[in-house]
Structure 1
């Protein structure tokens, strides 16, 4: 019997994006789309990938995908992630708590906050994103 854990991903691991092949490599299975509770903020890390953090104020619901990842391959998947991303617990809008990809605070320092877009897909799909200003807060 294969033991799996639910993992919330909010960036390039999502279906059709740059690092989604890593999900296939570890034989993860897409479960559903979801949103976090409204306590998260999102930053663009040089427009290569996002970093999400839970905050005590000023958060929003962020679009995520939930994947079932074989527990035995979770560490390998994390090793494939860009530096500064890690695994933590993420609270979903429906009250469920799952593991999720989050960013270390130092990774977000001085980076562009993109919380207003509500998710990485919306941000990368917005042709006007270079012209729009969003507040950036150094942690």
Structure 2
């Protein structure tokens, strides 16, 4: 039985961003970049972090990072996330599934839909240009 699990991240937990230390300090290692299946939307919550949610219609794909994380540290990483972010299954473009950070529906109310950027990193790069 494996001692690690793969987790898809899509916000400040990504390499080089503000919260990647939450993964690194919990002995996670970067595995690869990936894309989700085109069944999600993403919102910027107060401009600070994303909330990615699976939708029935109007979905698109997102760039994510896959990290390998000791199963015993998974809850610690989740507890460091903002309220309303949760753990769920994320479907990748190749049809595979991994655990991933998703957002509860209430988070997105009156928040900016940033789906057209296909990921948090693209959104913050565009935001910094403005």
Structure 2 residue aligned with 1:47: 47
SS in 1 for 2:50: strand
Q: How many residues align?
A: 130
Q: Point out where structure 1 has 5 or more consecutive residues left out of the alignment.
A: 131-139
- What does 1:1-139 align with in structure 2 at a 5 Å threshold? 3-127=3-127
Normalising by structure 1, report the TM-score: 0.90
Q: Name the SS of the counterpart of 1:76 in structure 2.
A: helix
Q: Structure 1 residue 128: deviation in Å?
A: 7.5
Alpha-carbon distance in 2 for matches of 1:94, 1:2: 22
Q: Could you tell me which runs of 5 or more consecutive residues in structure 2 were left unpaired when the two chains were aligned.
A: none
Residues 72/10 of structure 1: CA separation in 2 closer, same or farther (3 Å cut):
same
Q: Report how far residue 127 of structure 1 moved.
A: 4.2
1:123·1:129 contact (CA, 8 Å) conserved in 2?
A: no
CA RMSD between the two structures: 1.5
- TM-score by structure 2 length? 0.96
Q: Could you list the runs of 4 or more consecutive aligned residues of structure 1 that deviate by over 2 angstroms after TM superposition?
A: 127-130
**In structure 2, how many angstroms separate the alpha carbons of the residues matched to 1:12 and 1:128?**
15
